[in-house]
Amino acid sequence: MKVLALLVALLSLLVLATARKQMAARYDNFKVYKAFINDNEQLDAFKKIHQYIHIHMLHDIGGFNRSYEVVVGPEHQHRFEVNLRFFDIEFEIIIEDLQALLDESAYDPDAEMDWVTYHPLDKIYDWVDEQCAAHDYLDCKVIGHSYEGRPIKSIRLSKREGNKAIFIEGNIHAMEWISSATVTYILNQLINSNDAELQRLTEEYDWIVVPMVNPDGFVYTHEVERLWRKNRRPNGYSNSSGPCYGIDMNRNFDFHWSGAGWGIEDPCDHWFNGEQPNTEIEILQLQDFVSSFDEDYIRAYMAFHAYGQYILLPYGHSNTEFPPNYDQMMRIAAAFAEGALDSFGSEFTYGASGLLNYPVSGAAKDWAYGVKNIPFTCTVELRDKGTFGFFLPANQITEVGVEVTEGLKSLIVKAAEEGIFD
């Protein structure tokens, strides 16, 4: 009977694994288009295309005089191109076969943790646990659990009492795999690098890292839909395809919530900001964790995202309102950009997110600045500028980690000069 029970259990696991593999969406011959929007007439037409052609917008749609990337399946490509030409919208195909590109970065589940491939959640968390067990200056906690019950882990590196802290978070948006890859690269350098400057920064400052804010969404991108952005809580709405899931958690923070943004009121869209602010358990636990520390302890808050190579400063909700110490933050952001440039020539643009991109509200960096009074906060949008976008090949992870680490070194030195850590 025991043997039979074991066989049944193994068969169940096999069926589950096979079902998961079969559920995973494929994107064979899906193309990624870049459309160039020149005026309001084109913008209005472009906004409506998704209402009658099945496409996947990769960005919030802001204003004109900019480009937008769109994923389109093979059965809709001809009609999509006809519509763009009808409205004289210029476009180019930047990825011919999305699945072929994704296959280039396919991970080996048996591989050790490294920064030359994208890893699933379990591999990342196992590595975090190993680091926590090996170093007594790491304080590791589960700050809470996601909607589906997965842990949200944190690592606090502290070698000396009385230090001020830098807070880093990653992967609040599920599809942005380069985010957690970069955050764990930085963490690995802080712990294991022999670089003298990095070791000085670990002696003189505390580092608090939450590498995975959205574990449910991240797992979903690995097992079901690579293009998923939000968390996975059913939001109570449905459309023609069935129940709608998820909230864009970087639109759900209670600072000028719902003040601006495209698609934030559509429960089935990728950017739905929720019916109210602070509805998502993941960000409530993140906020509680930040608030658990003494006032004035955390002096910098950095959220890592993809893509575009930006250092986005507060505020997001406006392109005319700026923080009181905006000029100071600009100088610090400039230092990051200068440090990152030296490694591989990657240029980072810096400034208020509402000014550089378009007004959108409810982001973590704005909450950290406007509610928690952390004097330097930003969103770092990582590589690239649109060649691969959210699908950055895994062979660029290490380069991204190197340039961002160099940028961080310069940023901390400049922030200290500016009195951020006083």
- 315, 352 contact by CB (below 8 A): yes
- 245, 212 contact by CB (below 8 A): no
H/E run at residue 349: strand 349-352
Radius of gyration for the alpha carbons in the chain, expressed in angstroms and rounded = 22
Question: Using CB atoms within 10 A of its CB, is residue 341 exposed (0-12), middle (13-18) or buried (19+)?
Answer: middle
> b/e string for 284-306 if b means 16 or more Cβ within 10 A?
ebbbebbeeeeeeebbbbbbbbb
What's the gap between Cα 135 and its chain centre?
27
Q: Which of 280, 282, 381, 406 is catalytic?
A: 381
- 55, 84 contact by CB (below 8 A): no
Q: Is 75 a catalytic residue?
A: no
Q: How far apart are CA 16 and CA 13, in angstroms?
A: 5
How would you classify the pairing of strands 349-352 and 376-382?
A: unpaired
User: Could you list the active site residues?
Assistant: 381
